[in-house]
Structure 1
Amino acid sequence: MKTNPPAVQIVAISADEAGQRIDNFLRTQLKGVPKSMIYRILRKGEVRVNKKRIKPEYKLVAGDEIRIPPVRVAERDEQTVSPKLAKVASLADAILYEDDWILVMNKPSGTAVHGGSGLSFGVIEGLRALRPEARFLELVHRLDRDTSGVLLVAKKRSALRSLHEQLREKGMQKDYLALVRGSWPSHLKVVQAPLLKNILQSGERVVRVNSEGKPSETRFKVEERYAHATLVKASPVTGRTHQIRVHTLHAGHPIAFDDRYGEQEFDRQLATTGLNRLFLHAAALTFTHPNSGEVMRMEAPLDERLKQCLKVLRQQAQ
């Protein structure tokens, strides 16, 4: 038995619906349709407002007439979707902000920023699959594979140049949250220790404090204390590989579940919290918008596993 194919819908916007972004409106209209597909039909011009193409950030006005194309997601298609496509769809949900110049996302832990080193899929490859019409998408900076949080991507070459200049001139403020072993001393506000990068035969990068290394500086502030751990804000002044992870280790307070620079005994103490990933999160990034000149502060919320860990630690500290 054949089912009728879904038809084009024409929807008129009421006064109550006015003011919201078209992408958010479509998510309520097209229940169960992945966010990535919604962005795709917007970018391809299949959604029209008053017979005109619009951008995802377009805000609806009362009386607008929206053309919504036929979109159908079969249940069995969703079940057989490839892991790579599923990852691409999850990246769409991780986007915090986007305009014509930049894209900001809350990178999940466990996803590399670039494919390579035996990985076929990274954030940048995923974003290019998500935005096939984008002629330019390049990372402004990097995050370690197991580090989560704010990641900035340039959508124009001129934007990349501007943002790279801000990085060089130290005009970009990065704030991370890290859960470290023991009681971090309140007076320890800065760690300055030169870092030397070594590449092992396996291709693995290991960084050590070494007088022959590059000058490196990280600023620290205690955010919260627990029985066997401290949540610190770490703000790197320089941008060396694994800098925060090695500086906390150098200070005698390694980060929880750091498989390279951590301590197994500390990880065992955290067993009851359910944590099983590196507790290092790029919580905020402050920079100047490459086009408008506006100072922007983008914040990325902690994922559920990190929030749950802190919740348990607070309960244990009572």
Structure 2
Amino acid sequence: MRNEVFKSGRPDVRKSPERPRKTSDTGSPAVRFIAVDEDQAGQRLDNFLRYVLKGVPKTRIYRIIRKGEVRVNKGRAKAETKLQSGDVVRVPPVRVSEAKMPVAPGMDVARKLEAAILFEDDSLLVLNKPSGLAVHGGSGVTLGVIEALRQLRPDCRFLELVHRIDRDTSGCLLVAKKRSMLRHLHAQIREHHMLKVYNALVDGRWPARKTAVSAPLQKNVLQSGERMVSVHPDGKASRTRFKVLQRYGESTLIEASLETGRTHQIRVHTLHAGHPILGDSKYGYERTAQLAEQAGLKRLFLHAAKVGINLPDGSYREFDAPLPDELVEVLNGLPQV
């Protein structure tokens, strides 16, 4: 007799959380029944499936949900259904040909990520993300930080980005290793209780009296698909605090602290103040590009230097990411004022 996972009513979570897989001659997995554990509870069904069915296109995942091939506790469910601990999800077989095989991180990327770890315990990982590496795949990027970490940490059942920083920005990046930690930190972000401090080298002499910029930001998508952000009265309220750290010949090293976390917020607020960031090809002036070239700068001079969080046990902790060598070299070559 077939070994049943279900009893009447709620699923019996005392059974094995996942029925052993069967595979066909083509290598496709058979139907799976997966019990949701406490760390997975609270997330949407579509996000749960994106993790379970790694490499399967999102369009395919939404299609099998709409067709009723995915069931939660034997019933149909919507993509936005919030899963609870003990729920059992029926995951249908997906042909291997329909899934893109994940791109393995090269040795160079693997070494960079391992060397970039600032802190790690059983629930949190903090990276000093290198510039030029996207935090996640998509939009022409086949492999991001989170995909590479999942392959480098195959024993971690849960790895999710707590927040994002731009591809060209370096510095502190938080990755949750437990769903409970992710929910805890997301609550701090929503309530603006997370400290986020950046260093940036900007065009010109930043006025010492300009300690904050409050300007609403609106996202726009160009016909090319590129995202651009601009100050607009109909945009979302945004505020950044600033402090001068060091003046150089024709530029200023500043500290920027986020009070809100909008896309490209520091880059657009510095532009709005008339002092765009050196190395910013999207929001800089022609003069800004010339200053960057003269300084030997080959990337965006924006670095997430510090992040501060309240931990679940009530303690407060800050993590500092040292300025990358290539940015230190640029500063060492500039005349101080």
Task: List per-residue Cα deviations over 1:127-177 (Å, max 9, x = no partner).
Answer: 111101100000000000000000000000000000000111111010000
Q: Distance in 1 between matches of 2:273 and 2:119?
A: 35
Matches of residues 103-114 of structure 1 in structure 2 within 5 Å? 103-114=125-136
**Counterpart amino acid of 1:185?**
P
Matches of residues 88-127 of structure 1 in structure 2 within 5 Å? 88-127=110-149
- Report the structure, 1 or 2, having the larger helix content: 1
Contact 1:138 1:154 in 2 (8 A): yes
Q: CA RMSD in A?
A: 1.3
Corresponding residue of 2:287: 265
Structure 1's 259 and 157: CA in aligned 2 closer, same or farther, altered over 3 A? same
**Counterpart amino acid of 1:180?**
V
Corresponding residue of 2:170: 148
2:331 to 306, 310, 316: 310
Structure 1 gaps, min length 5: 1-81
Task: List per-residue Cα deviations over 1:248-269 (Å, max 9, x = no partner).
Answer: 0000000001010012322322
Tell me by how many angstroms 1:85 deviates.
3.3
2:243 to 176, 197, 221: 221
Q: TM-score w.r.t. structure 2 length?
A: 0.68
Tell me by how many angstroms 1:278 deviates.
0.2
Q: Distance in 2 between matches of 1:255 and 1:124?
A: 27
Query: What SS does structure 2 have at the residue aligned with 1:265?
Result: helix
Corresponding residue of 1:76: none
Identity, in percent, stands at 58
Q: Distance in 2 between matches of 1:235 and 1:278?
A: 17
**Counterpart amino acid of 2:309?**
F
Q: Distance in 1 between matches of 2:222 and 2:143?
A: 23
Corresponding residue of 1:71: none
For the pair 1:179 / 2:198, whether they are aligned, the reply is: no
**Counterpart amino acid of 1:317?**
Q
Corresponding residue of 1:294: 315
Tell me by how many angstroms 1:84 deviates.
2.4
Q: Distance in 2 between matches of 1:311 and 1:85?
A: 31
Tell me by how many angstroms 1:246 deviates.
0.1
Task: List per-residue Cα deviations over 1:2-37 (Å, max 9, x = no partner).
Answer: xxxxxxxxxxxxxxxxxxxxxxxxxxxxxxxxxxxx
Q: TM-score w.r.t. structure 1 length?
A: 0.72
Query: What SS does structure 2 have at the residue aligned with 1:269?
Result: helix
For the pair 1:284 / 2:301, whether they are aligned, the reply is: no
Corresponding residue of 1:50: none
Corresponding residue of 1:14: none
Structure 2 gaps, min length 5: 1-103
Tell me by how many angstroms 1:294 deviates.
1.8
For the pair 1:203 / 2:225, whether they are aligned, the reply is: yes
Contact 1:176 1:235 in 2 (8 A): yes
Task: Report how many aligned residue pairs link the two structures.
Answer: 234
Contact 1:181 1:229 in 2 (8 A): yes
Q: Distance in 1 between matches of 2:314 and 2:111?
A: 31
Tell me by how many angstroms 1:86 deviates.
2.3
Structure 1's 86 and 255: CA in aligned 2 closer, same or farther, altered over 3 A? same
Contact 1:256 1:262 in 2 (8 A): yes
Tell me by how many angstroms 1:83 deviates.
6.5
Corresponding residue of 1:10: none
1:236 to 258, 261, 273: 258
Q: Distance in 2 between matches of 1:108 and 1:88?
A: 12
Query: What SS does structure 2 have at the residue aligned with 1:297?
Result: strand
Q: Distance in 2 between matches of 1:197 and 1:271?
A: 29
Tell me by how many angstroms 1:273 deviates.
2.7
Contact 1:179 1:230 in 2 (8 A): yes
**Counterpart amino acid of 2:336?**
A
**Counterpart amino acid of 1:303?**
P
Corresponding residue of 1:69: none
Corresponding residue of 1:65: none
Tell me by how many angstroms 1:270 deviates.
3.5
**Counterpart amino acid of 1:124?**
I
Corresponding residue of 2:14: none
